[in-house]
Amino acid sequence: MVRQAEQVGMPVIVHTYPRRSVGEGVEISYAPEHIAWAVRCCVECGVDVIKVPYCGERAAYTQIVSECPVPIVAAGGPKAETLKAALVMAADVMACGAKGMTIDATSGEPRKLLKR
């Protein structure tokens, strides 16, 4: 698919969410080593942009971003309880060198979040 996209000049953006086992289920992992591994897999597949969670550790994320040859966009990070906390996290992400960040819109009512 990456090769086909390249032939027509279309960038490939991968949204990757590393997982870890928890009991009998799985959940998104924010461990830096899991995020770094996911990023490496995407790079090896030849993608143009990688969307991956922020690990919550500036030094670790800075290293992941700086060693990645393609742009990284943070796919959120550990749950932020307030809009202010989410904006602080976004500032951290940008300080790490990421090209941007998405914020979870599954709260159902984003206007309520903005009023807090």
User: In the prediction, which pLDDT does 40 show?
Assistant: 97
pLDDT digits (tens, 9 = 90+) for 17-69: 999 999 999 999 999 999 999 999 999 999 999 999 999 999 999 999 999 99
Please, which contacts does 97-101 make with residues 24 or more away whose CB atoms are closer than 8 Å?
97/62, 97/65, 97/66, 97/72, 98/54, 98/61, 98/65, 98/71, 98/72, 98/73, 98/74, 99/49, 99/71, 99/72, 99/73, 100/73, 100/74, 101/54, 101/73, 101/74, 101/75, 101/76
pTM over 0.85: no
Domains of the chain: 2-115 (3.20.20.70)
